[in-house]
Structure 1
Amino acid sequence: MTASRALPGPHASTLDLGGRTALVTGAAGGIGRACVLRLAAAGAKVRAVDRDDAGLQALTEQSAGLPGSVEPHVLDLTDLDAAEAAAAGTDVLVNNAGLQLVRPIEEFPPDVFHTVLTVMLEAPFRLIRGALPHMYGQGWGRIVNISSVHGLRASAYKAAYVAAKHGLEGLSKTAALEGASHGVTSNCVNPAYVRTPLVEKQLADQARAHGIPEERVLSEVMLQDSAVKRLIEPEEVAEAVAYLCSPQASFMTGTSLVLDGGWSAH
C-alpha cells in the first residue's frame, strides 16, 4: 500500500513569491491595485500595467515598504504587440483590465464593442502568448484571469462585456489544458459587483437603461440576484488571486473561482 503524502501544515498557506515576477493589467485602481499590493506583499516584483500614469505613480508610492517591488508600466492594451512584449519573462500573469458600457444592442456603438473585445479578450490572449515561453521554460506559471459573474451569466444591456468575459472563460480553459504538462495553471476569478470606479460609473447608465433613479440601481439591479446584499471589496478578489498562486492551488486549473454572493446559485 502506497503511503499517503503528508498534508500541508496549518501555516502552509502563507504565500511566498520571492524571486517571482508578476504582471497585473488595469493596475492603477480597483481590483488591479489590490492585486498588485497583495502580490508585492508576497515578495513578487510586480509589473503594474495601466494607461493611467498618475495612478501608477500613486500605486508605486503606496507600495513602498512591501517585501516585493512595483514597476509601473504605462501601456494602452489596444497596442497588442506592446502588450505581448510586456508579458515576456513573467511568472504570474493577472489579466484584469476592463471597461464597460451599458446600452441596448441596437444602440451599442460598434467601435466601443470592438474596443471592449480588444482590451478584455484579445489583449489577454496576447499577454498569455507572451508569458508562456518563460513559464514553460521553467516548468511553473500562474495565469489568473479576472472574469466576472458575467462570464457565467448574462445581463441585459452589456453585450460587449458579457461576450468578452464568456470568451475569456474559454481562453482560460484552453490555456489550462495546454499548460498542464508544463506546470502552468490557468483559472478565472469571477466576482459579482466589486466596489470599484468601474461599478460606480455604471450607476447612471443603469438608471437610464432601466428607467429608475440612480439611488435604486444598487439594490434593484446590481444586488438583486445576490444572496449577500453588499458589494465585494477589491481586497477580497486579490486574496482569491493570491490563493491561485499558492502551492495549495497547484491542482486547480481550468476552472472558475466564483465570488458572486450566491448569484449563480439561483
Structure 2
Amino acid sequence: MTAPTTPPGPVPRPVALDLGGRTALVTGAAGGIGRACTLRLAAAGAKVRAMDRDTAGLDTLSADAAGLPGSVEPFPLDLTDLDAAERAAAGTDIVVNNAGLQLVRSIEEFPPEVFHTVLTVMLEAPFRLIRGALPHMYGQGWGRIVNLSSVHGLRASAYKSAYVAAKHGLEGLSKTAALEGAPHGVTSNCVCPGYVRTPLVEKQIADQAAAHGITEDRVLTEVLLKDSALKRLIEPDEVAEAVAYLCTPQAGFVTGTSLVLDGGWTAH
C-alpha cells in the first residue's frame, strides 16, 4: 500500500530533557508512536524497556538506539499475557501505555473475539502494567504514567466500536490513577493525537476505503482529515515530544488530564 499523500509535518527539535537514572517501559515499542517514544526517552537518558511482540522490530530499535545517552532493552512480550505484563512493569519509574490494534467493521459484523482482544491489549493490559509499576513508584514518591489515548478517547467514530470503547476506558483508568497517585508523587495523563502517520493508520485507510467504497486518497481527505483544521497527519516524533514532556519533573503538576494533539479536530 502507498503511504498517505499528505506531506510530512515538521520534525520537532527536541527540547533538552533529563531523565537520567529513570527506568521507563514503553509498550508497542517496535514501530510507530512507540518506537518514537522509546528513542526520545532514551535520548533523554532513560533506560527503556521496549516491549513488543515484534522481536525483529525490537532488534532494529535497539540497534538504532546505540549511542544515545540512555539505553533500550528489548523486551519481547505479547500483552495478552496479562500476568507477565504486570511482572514486567515492576521497578519502573515511567510507564507509557502505547500498544494498540484496530479493526474497522460495523458492530453487527465485528467479530466478538477481536473485540475481546482489543479490550485486553488496550485497556486491561494498561491496568495490569500500572498495577505492577505502582508499588515501586509509591515507594520512591515519584512516577509518571502516560497513556496513549486518541481523539477517539474523547469522541466516537462509526465502525470502530472496540477501539473507541478501549480508548474511552483508558481515559477513565488514567484519571483514576491520577487521583490515587497524587498523594504519592505519581502523575497519570493521556495524550490524544489525531491521525498519526503510522502503519496502523495506513491499514485503517485501506479498511475505510473498502467500507465506504472510495479511494484511499479520498479516505484521507474526506474521512480522516475532514474535521481537522490542520490538513495533515501528525508525525510520531511530534507525539513523542508530548509524551516526553509529561515524564519530566517539570510536568509534576500536570495530572488527570488529556493532552490533545488533534490539529483542531475537537475545536468544532
Q: TM-score if structure 1 supplies the norm length?
A: 0.95
What letter matches 1:60 in structure 2?
A: S
C-alpha deviation, 1:210, in angstroms: 1.6
Structure 1: unaligned runs, 5 residues or longer:
1-12
2:216 alignment partner in structure 1: 214
SS at match of 1:243: helix
1:75 alignment partner in structure 2: 77
Q: Is 1:241–2:243 an aligned residue pair? A: yes
What letter matches 1:108 in structure 2?
A: F
C-alpha deviation, 1:247, in angstroms: 2.1
1:122 alignment partner in structure 2: 124
CA distance in 1, matches of 2:213, 2:108: 17
What letter matches 1:260 in structure 2?
A: D
Which protein has the larger Cα radius of gyration, Structure 1 or Structure 2?
Answer: 1
Equivalent positions of 1:83-232 (< 5 A) are 83-232=85-234
Select which of 58, 61, 64 maps to 1:62: 64
Which consecutive segments of 4 or more residues in structure 1 shift more than 6 A?
none
In terms of mean alpha carbon deviation, does 162-171 or 14-23 score higher?
Answer: 14-23
CA distance in 2, matches of 1:237, 1:192: 10
1:26 alignment partner in structure 2: 28
| CA deviation vs aligned residue, 1:14-43 (integer Å, no higher than 9, x gap) | 311111100000000000000000000000
CA distance in 1, matches of 2:249, 2:185: 11
CA distance in 2, matches of 1:248, 1:22: 17
SS at match of 1:166: helix
C-alpha deviation, 1:212, in angstroms: 1.3
CA distance in 2, matches of 1:123, 1:129: 10
CA distance in 2, matches of 1:79, 1:225: 37
Q: TM-score if structure 2 supplies the norm length?
A: 0.94
The total of aligned residue pairs comes to: 254
CA distance in 1, matches of 2:114, 2:174: 23
SS at match of 1:201: helix
What letter matches 1:42 in structure 2?
A: A
CA distance in 1, matches of 2:28, 2:19: 21
| CA deviation vs aligned residue, 1:90-134 (integer Å, no higher than 9, x gap) | 000000000000000000000000000000000000000000000
CA distance in 2, matches of 1:155, 1:39: 32
CA distance in 2, matches of 1:38, 1:239: 7
Identity of aligned residues (%): 86
Structure 2: unaligned runs, 5 residues or longer:
1-14
C-alpha deviation, 1:211, in angstroms: 2.1
SS at match of 2:206: helix
